[in-house]
């Protein structure tokens, strides 16, 4: 090869090597450049390495968090908000700004301060400190019921496990400033004289009522528990609170009593009295009131403040509207607004009419007035969900005594409510337990401050004597709750009319409490009158469903699950008989002195025998009615209730009343606020 050719080949080889080296350098430079710059920007010298600045403490400038015990915070915060502006535009901060109003002032400012500890966390030495999980759990336990009361979920950013840490991890108390204020207030203020000073004698919305019930349960957790017996037409919980030294369980020989208020939504005094009573029982028990402690330790007390919460909402709205009427012009007639439920059903006419069945059979040999089965045709009619819930409730618990609170007059009425003569609407129509019912009615009326001496009638109770009246003699109607209690269960119920005004002015509520407080307590104590005992077999086992009868009273009661029973009786001499299928009868004679305040103990031991046909036992099964255990056999209620609820849900907004407020603020819909999403 010639020399010139070798030179040319060498030059080409060098050029290729130089080009490869330049390309390698370019690739190295491009690969090491900041990711946000492309190669063109880099060659122009416009790219500079970006150094990420570490977050630093900054002043806490959120107005709803200005009372926190610290002044420095840091962004991003614990839930990821990058700036103060982002926090202020978020639904979380909006919730903190209105939570006091939404919860009716309850749990204030605890919830707001707890939320601030997450949205604007404490910062020291450029480091975020997280709030204590134990504080979060304590607040959640005492306040979650308030959110449930307005059908709102517990806020996700107050999740105690996600955003709070344990004491061992170096947490701080987010309520530190609040505790300092409470210590000053506790030091400077004297303790209240009695529990009445802690009760707010005002009207309560359904949410506020449920909140008080749940708060009382939390405050007196050793003696109180709550449960729902069902829902109203519009889906509101029918919430019951129970007081007992062993809440949630039936105890052997411990009698059970119930109070029901607001059956008619516009008759509200009873509802408020029961809300006050709930708080009073809890407070007085904790204060060491011996009378209240004895009552709760020996009795199982169930209180349903509102059987008709939908009707109450309507009645409260009607009264509020009437307040805007011209004082000199005609006022709106609010007398019956909200009386019925949301289906326009009068709940005190909606129970099975068992009284007519008793009247139709009273000439039959061996007819009975107890544990009358519900006829199948009843289920073909319209049964309100509130009625259905109460019927299942009283069938599931061995109630002994009950009172149902109304308004529009000042009197205690007792069964029967239906006249024994179809053409006489004001005829005295007594039950076999007429003397017992009169005693119970007088117990309440005499303990009331004015009822027994009331001389100016505001209703139709002109036939009352000493503040009590037979229901049918007052005015006759079928399908009432107190007749159903008596004829279908062991429970004896009276109806208490609390005053002339169905929806009195708020300033009259305290007076109503003072007039009825003693009567409410005295009537509960009356559940311990008469006799109680256990019906056992020869092996000492309790006999469930045994019958205890009293000579001269054609109305038996039956034993509970473990064979225990309670029979309310007036003072005197009584002959009791206990019987059960497959056992011989046992009889005892008892004497109840007039001054005896506690139930006498009368036990029975039944011996086994050959089961023979008993015409009296067969009488339980009334033709076309089936047995006592037969309850909604064809599931009629469930079928029509499901269809009607679907229709109602289509007609009304499915979201809670507060939902539009959060949606209208812009941004994505905060579905985390919905309990049932």
| Domain contains 647 | no
* CATH code for the domain of 585: 2.60.40.1120
Which tokens belong to 78? 């614990």
Last residue of a domain, one of 153, 170, 187: 187
Select the more confidently predicted residue: 235 or 515: 515
Tell me the mean pLDDT in the region 154-174: 92
Q: What pLDDT score does 364 carry?
A: 79
Tell me the mean pLDDT in the region 609-632: 59
Tell me the mean pLDDT in the region 77-81: 92
- Would you say 210 and 237 are in contact if contact means Cβ atoms under 8 Å apart? yes
| Domain contains 552 | yes
Residue 424 confidence class, pLDDT cut points 50, 70, 90: confident
Residue range 565-597, pLDDT digits in tens: 999 999 999 999 999 999 999 999 999 998 888
Catalytic residue among 267, 284, 493, 497: 497
Residue 52 confidence class, pLDDT cut points 50, 70, 90: low
Q: What percent of the chain has pLDDT over 90?
A: 63
Residue range 438-472, pLDDT digits in tens: 999 999 999 999 998 866 566 655 567 889 999 99
Q: What pLDDT score does 328 carry?
A: 41
Q: What pLDDT score does 22 carry?
A: 47
Last residue of a domain, one of 131, 166, 187: 187
Alpha-carbon gap, residue 76 to 73, rounded angstroms: 10
Please provide the distance, in angstroms rounded to a whole number, between the alpha carbons at the two ends of the chain.
Answer: 88
Same domain, yes or no: 114 and 205: no
Residue range 375-420, pLDDT digits in tens: 999 998 999 999 999 999 999 999 999 999 999 999 999 999 999 8
Overall domain count for the chain: 4
Last residue of a domain, one of 159, 187, 215: 187
Tell me the mean pLDDT in the region 156-160: 93
Tell me the mean pLDDT in the region 645-661: 64
Q: What pLDDT score does 213 carry?
A: 94
Give phi and psi for 489, each to the nearest 5: -135, -175
Q: Which residue has the tokens 């059903």?
A: 345
Same domain, yes or no: 359 and 415: yes
Residue 621 confidence class, pLDDT cut points 50, 70, 90: very low
| Domain contains 639 | no
Average pLDDT, the chain: 85
Q: Assess whether 497 carries a catalytic annotation.
A: yes
Same domain, yes or no: 342 and 237: yes
Alpha-carbon gap, residue 432 to 555, rounded angstroms: 7
Same domain, yes or no: 24 and 128: no
| Domain contains 50 | no
Tell me the mean pLDDT in the region 305-332: 70
pTM of the model: 0.76
| Domain contains 565 | yes
Same domain, yes or no: 225 and 340: yes
- Would you say 469 and 476 are in contact if contact means Cβ atoms under 8 Å apart? no
Q: Is the pLDDT of residue 180 over 80?
A: no
Same domain, yes or no: 34 and 92: no
Q: Is the pLDDT of residue 8 over 50?
A: no
Neighbours of 218 (CB within 10 A): 15
Same domain, yes or no: 72 and 125: yes
Same domain, yes or no: 181 and 206: no
Q: Is the pLDDT of residue 543 over 80?
A: yes
Same domain, yes or no: 486 and 592: no
Q: Taken in order 484, 486, 491, 497, is the CA torsion positive or negative?
A: positive
| Domain contains 48 | no
Give phi and psi for 434, each to the nearest 5: -60, -40
* CATH code for the domain of 181: 1.10.2000.10
Same domain, yes or no: 491 and 434: yes
Same domain, yes or no: 377 and 254: yes
Closest CA to 612 of 579, 586, 578: 579
Q: What pLDDT score does 616 carry?
A: 44
Q: What pLDDT score does 336 carry?
A: 80
Give phi and psi for 409, each to the nearest 5: -160, 175
| Domain contains 180 | yes
Q: What pLDDT score does 146 carry?
A: 84
Same domain, yes or no: 416 and 465: yes
- Domain of 432, in residue numbers: 195-323+335-528
Residues 6+ apart with CB under 8 A from 358: 367, 369, 372, 487
Q: Is the pLDDT of residue 482 over 50?
A: yes
* CATH code for the domain of 416: 3.40.630.10
Tell me the mean pLDDT in the region 523-537: 97
Q: What pLDDT score does 185 carry?
A: 45
In this structure, of 26-40, 140-154, 470-484, the range with the lowest mean pLDDT score is 26-40
Residue 196 confidence class, pLDDT cut points 50, 70, 90: low
Neighbours of 641 (CB within 10 A): 18
| Domain contains 673 | no
| Cα dihedral 403→404→407→408 (10° resolution) | -90
Q: What percent of the chain has pLDDT over 70?
A: 80
């Amino acid at each position: 090869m010639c020399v010139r050719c070798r030179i040319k080949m060498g030059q080409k080889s060098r050029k290729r090597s130089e080009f490869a080296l330049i390309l390698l350098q370019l690739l190295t430079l491009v690969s090491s450049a900041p990711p946000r710059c492309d190669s063109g920007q880099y060659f122009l010298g416009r790219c500079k390495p970006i150094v990420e600045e570490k977050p630093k403490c900054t002043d806490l400038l959120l107005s709803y968090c200005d009372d926190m015990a610290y002044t420095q915070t840091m962004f991003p915060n614990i839930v990821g908000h990058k700036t103060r502006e982002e926090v202020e535009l978020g639904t979380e901060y909006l919730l903190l700004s209105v939570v006091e109003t939404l919860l009716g002032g309850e749990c204030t400012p605890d919830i707001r301060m707890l939320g601030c500890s997450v949205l604007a966390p404490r910062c020291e030495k450029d480091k975020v400190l997280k709030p204590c999980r134990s504080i979060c759990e304590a607040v959640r336990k005492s306040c979650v019921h308030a959110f449930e009361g307005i059908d709102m979920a517990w806020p996700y950013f107050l999740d105690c496990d996600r955003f709070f840490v344990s004491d061992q991890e170096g947490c701080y108390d987010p309520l530190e400033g609040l505790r300092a204020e409470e210590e000053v207030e506790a030091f400077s203020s004297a303790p209240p004289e009695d529990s009445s000073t802690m009760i707010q004698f005002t009207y309560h919305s359904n949410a506020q009522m449920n909140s008080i019930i749940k708060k009382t349960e939390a405050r007196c957790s050793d003696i109180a528990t709550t449960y729902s017996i069902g829902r109203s037409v519009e889906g509101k919980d029918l919430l019951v609170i129970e007081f007992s030294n062993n809440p949630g369980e039936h105890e052997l020989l411990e009698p059970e009593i119930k109070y029901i208020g607001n059956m008619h939504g516009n008759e509200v005094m009873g509802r408020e009295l029961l809300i006050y009573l709930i708080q009073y029982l809890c407070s007085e028990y904790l204060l060491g009131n011996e009378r209240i402690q004895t009552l709760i330790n020996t009795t199982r007390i169930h209180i349903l403040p509102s059987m008709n919460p939908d009707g109450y909402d309507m009645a409260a709205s009607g009264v509020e509207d009437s307040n805007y009427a011209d004082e000199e012009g005609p006022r709106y007639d609010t007398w019956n607004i909200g009386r019925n439920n949301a289906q326009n059903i009068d709940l005190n006419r909606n129970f099975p009419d068992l009284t007519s069945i008793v009247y139709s059979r009273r000439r039959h040999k061996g007819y009975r007035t107890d544990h009358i089965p519900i006829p199948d045709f009843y289920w073909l009619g319209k049964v309100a969900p509130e009625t259905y819930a109460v019927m299942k409730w009283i069938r599931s618990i061995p109630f002994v005594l009950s009172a149902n609170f109304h308004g529009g007059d000042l009197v205690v009425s007792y069964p029967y409510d239906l006249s024994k003569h179809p053409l006489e609407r004001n005829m005295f129509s007594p039950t076999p337990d007429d003397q017992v019912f009169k005693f119970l009615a007088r117990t309440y009326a005499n303990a009331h401050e004015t009822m027994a001496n009331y001389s100016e009638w505001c209703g139709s109770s002109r036939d009352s004597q000493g503040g009590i009246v037979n229901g049918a003699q007052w005015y006759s109607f079928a399908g009432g709750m107190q007749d159903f209690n008596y004829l279908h269960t062991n429970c004896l119920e009276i109806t208490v009319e609390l005053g002339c005004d169905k929806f009195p002015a708020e300033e009259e509520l305290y007076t109503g409490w003072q007039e009825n407080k003693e009567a409410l307590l005295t009537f509960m104590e009356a559940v311990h009158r008469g006799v109680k005992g256990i019906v056992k077999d020869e092996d000492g086992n309790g006999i469930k469903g045994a019958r205890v009868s009293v000579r001269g009273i054609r109305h038996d009661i039956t034993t509970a699950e473990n064979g225990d029973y309670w029979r309310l009786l007036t003072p005197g001499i009584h002959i009791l008989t206990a019987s059960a299928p497959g056992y011989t009868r046992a009889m005892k004679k008892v004497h109840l002195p007039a001054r005896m305040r506690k139930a006498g103990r009368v036990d029975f031991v039944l011996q086994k025998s050959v089961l023979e046909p008993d015409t009296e036992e067969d009488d339980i099964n009334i033709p076309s009615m089936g047995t006592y255990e037969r309850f909604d056999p064809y599931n009629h209620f469930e079928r029509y209730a499901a269809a009607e609820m679907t229709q109602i849900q289509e007609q009304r907004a499915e979201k809670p009343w507060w939902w539009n407020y959060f949606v209208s603020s812009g941004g994505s819909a905060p579905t985390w606020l919905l309990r049932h999403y």
